[in-house]
């Protein structure tokens, strides 16, 4: 999700990992060392509605069959961008193999605890980029270039997808430029120093990034109080409509092998050896029966049990609900987002047009990340992201400094639970909102931030018409976990090294820029029974993205 944090849009790699205080649980079924049980990490019912979700898709509650299938070849848990794109690439590749060699297509069951795409993908900013400050925080120029190359390839991949499936107009997909704007001179100069040094030696990432001339920065960006800015590549789109559109295409093309089961929460994932008798005929025509053993995955739900040969966990912040060993490795955390629209008087319909008339408004053509100067010496700088929509409205997310300073990171406590943001999955309508003083950040936001937006007293002012929260998955190095799921104890030499579970989760608020290529890579891993290292180079996956024992936090 892009609700401000690590890696993209409003994100940068974590330099500090927020550890929860250990409370050892003696439940033999779990190996969690936190005060939470697996069920505490499940998606909550009745989530609040985001701007993106105000037009529910007809497939929002889709159940292909009234009853849960008993078995399948591949079960995919999660119907956000990660789950949907993984299913898409599995089906596309399998269909090509079927046409070429007659290979049977796998039977896939796609499950979600809630409505279709109701998690992070439908709560983010619809913004796909990597910030300049994210790049300069990385170790060296080569690493920065590799990261920017990855995000650039993501833009290319997304454009190819929406073009191939005819979804560009429906999901409002655009390749754009984006401004990284700074209001704090010291912060800007630190980022620019790293940029200048890499530009001097010709590092690739600097060739797609330009510095906005300082004397014109306020005029060019339109941001009040800006002291420096960079212009970078970005893409923007309506994430929910993209995901729903891709599912529509899959149902149309592959409905015979794809079974969708929304509002079907998987409460437990286990694996069990299964034996099968196979008859083999030798050259002398003697037939013998041999027994083979393979691992079968068991998915328990309130609607019954599903067995699957292979499982993909596209569960992001909710991963620990099914993989308890990940309770401190992928930590859920809450962010907030908002939608700002011109007042009705500014958006009245023209008698000569069927379209809404926003001529009185200054339309922003670029997306933004705005690094705000601290309001006090004790407050850190903060960053928001802005995604202007084609209709003239704006999606703006961030403002984390308004609630994170209420939270004691050392012992994971909060003086007021309403400000709790770390280690929580609550985005419910009833209790998932932040208090009003946090949401006050969005009041008069556009007029306070931009020169070319009307003042609050104007009849054509912009104000938020929707504010929501969403849950993201935080990792200790700012990178997602991609690949074959590392088996839990016993020790490695006693494990089944060919566990038939794969994952892509823990996107640190940057999923839009990380998921498309990762999903394509996971699809190949699943179909070919491969590990991360087998596909890393082919898909340009970055160092630190692969999951495994070395990345588990105990």
Q: What secondary structure letter does DSSP report for 475?
A: -
Residues facing residue 481 across a β-bridge:
505
**Terminal Cα-to-Cα distance of the chain (whole angstroms):** 25
Give the DSSP per-residue string, 261-282.
E-S----EEEEEEEEEEEEEE-
- The pLDDT score that the predictor gives to residue 350 is 42
Per-residue pLDDT of the chain (554 residues; tens, 9 = 90+): 333 333 334 333 333 333 332 222 223 333 344 568 999 999 999 999 999 999 999 999 999 999 999 999 999 999 999 999 999 999 999 999 999 999 999 999 999 999 999 999 999 999 999 999 999 999 999 999 999 999 999 999 999 999 999 999 999 999 999 999 999 999 999 999 999 999 999 999 999 999 999 999 999 999 999 999 999 999 999 999 999 999 999 999 999 999 999 999 999 999 987 655 445 544 455 655 555 567 899 999 999 999 999 999 999 999 999 999 999 999 999 999 999 998 765 544 444 444 444 434 567 999 999 999 987 777 777 999 999 999 999 999 999 999 987 765 555 566 677 889 999 999 999 999 999 999 999 999 999 999 977 666 665 568 899 999 999 999 999 999 999 999 877 655 555 557 899 999 999 999 999 999 999 999 999 999 999 999 999 999 999 999 999 999 98
CB 125, CB 395: distance < 8 Å: yes
- The pLDDT score that the predictor gives to residue 6 is 33
* The two three-digit tokens of residue 305, written as one number: 């049990």
Q: CA-based angle 539:543:549, to the nearest 5?
A: 110
- The pLDDT score that the predictor gives to residue 16 is 34
CB 77, CB 313: distance < 8 Å: yes
Alpha helices in 405-453, H assignment, sequence order: 436-439, 445-449
- The pLDDT score that the predictor gives to residue 227 is 98
What is the domain partition of the chain in residue ranges?
Answer: 38-267+311-347+357-551
CB 289, CB 267: distance < 8 Å: no
Distance CA 227, CA 41 (A): 42
CB 400, CB 421: distance < 8 Å: yes
Distance CA 31, CA 40 (A): 14
- The pLDDT score that the predictor gives to residue 142 is 97
Residue 126 Rama label (left phi>0; alpha psi -120 to 50; beta)? left
Q: CA-based angle 18:547:499, to the nearest 5?
A: 130
Q: Within 13 A of 136's CA, how many CA atoms are on the CB side? A: 20
- The pLDDT score that the predictor gives to residue 12 is 33
Give the DSSP per-residue string, 299-317.
EEETTEEEEEEEEEE--GG
- The pLDDT score that the predictor gives to residue 417 is 76
- The pLDDT score that the predictor gives to residue 5 is 31
CB 278, CB 288: distance < 8 Å: no
- The pLDDT score that the predictor gives to residue 376 is 74
């Amino acid at each position: 999700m892009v609700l401000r944090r690590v890696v993209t849009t409003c994100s940068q790699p974590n330099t500090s990992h927020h550890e929860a205080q250990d409370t050892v649980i003696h439940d033999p079924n779990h190996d969690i060392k936190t005060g939470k049980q697996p069920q505490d990490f499940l998606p909550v019912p009745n989530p609040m509605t985001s701007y993106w979700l105000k037009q529910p898709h007809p497939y929002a509650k889709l159940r292909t069959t009234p009853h849960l299938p008993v078995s399948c070849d591949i079960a995919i848990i999660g119907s956000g961008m990660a789950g949907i794109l993984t299913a898409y690439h599995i089906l596309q590749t399998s269909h090509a193999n079927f046409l070429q060699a007659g290979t049977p297509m796998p039977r896939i069951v796609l499950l979600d605890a809630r409505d279709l795409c109701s998690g992070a993908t439908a709560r983010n900013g619809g913004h796909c980029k990597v910030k300049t400050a994210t790049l300069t925080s990385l170790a060296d120029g080569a690493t920065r270039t590799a990261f920017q190359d990855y995000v650039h390839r993501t833009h290319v991949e997304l454009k190819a997808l929406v073009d191939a499936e005819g979804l560009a107009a429906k999901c409002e997909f655009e390749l754009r430029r984006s401004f990284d704007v700074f209001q704090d001179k010291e912060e800007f100069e630190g980022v620019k120093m790293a940029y200048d040094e890499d530009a001097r030696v010709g590092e690739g990432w600097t060739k797609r990034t330009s510095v906005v001339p300082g004397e014109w920065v306020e005029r060019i960006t339109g941001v009040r109080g800006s002291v420096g800015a960079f212009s970078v590549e970005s893409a923007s789109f309506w994430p929910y409509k993209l995901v729903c559109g891709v599912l529509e295409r899959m149902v149309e093309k592959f409905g015979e092998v794809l079974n969708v089961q929304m509002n079907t929460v998987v409460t437990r994932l286990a694996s069990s050896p299964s034996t099968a008798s196979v008859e083999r005929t030798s050259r002398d025509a003697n037939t013998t029966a041999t027994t083979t053993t393979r691992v079968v995955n068991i998915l328990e739900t309130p609607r019954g049990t599903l067995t699957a040969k292979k499982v993909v966990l596209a569960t992001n912040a909710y991963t620990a609900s099914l993989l308890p060993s990940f309770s401190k490795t992928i930590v859920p955390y809450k962010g907030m987002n908002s939608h700002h629209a011109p007042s009705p008087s500014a958006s009245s319909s023209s008698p000569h047009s069927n379209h809404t008339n926003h001529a009185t408004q200054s339309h922003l053509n670029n997306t933004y990340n705005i690094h705000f100067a601290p309001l006090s010496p004790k407050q850190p700088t903060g960053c928001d992201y802005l995604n202007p929509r084609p209709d003239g409205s704006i999606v703006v997310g961030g403002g984390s400094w308004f609630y994170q300073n209420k939270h004691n990171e050392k012992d994971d406590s909060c003086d007021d639970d309403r400000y709790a943001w770390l280690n929580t999955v609550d985005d419910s309508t009833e209790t998932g909102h932040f208090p009003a003083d946090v949401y006050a950040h969005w009041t008069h936001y556009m007029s306070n931030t931009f020169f070319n937006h009307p003042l609050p007293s104007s009849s054509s002012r912009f104000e938020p018409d929707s504010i929501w929260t969403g849950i993201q998955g935080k990792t200790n190095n700012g990178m997602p976990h991609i690949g074959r799921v590392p088996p839990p104890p016993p020790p490695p030499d006693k494990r089944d090294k060919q566990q038939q579970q794969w994952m892509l989760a823990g996107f640190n608020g940057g999923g839009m820029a990380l998921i498309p290529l990762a999903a394509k890579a996971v699809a190949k891993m699943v179909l070919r029974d491969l590990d991360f290292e087998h596909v890393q180079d082919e898909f340009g996956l970055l160092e630190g993205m692969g999951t495994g024992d070395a990345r588990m936090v105990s």
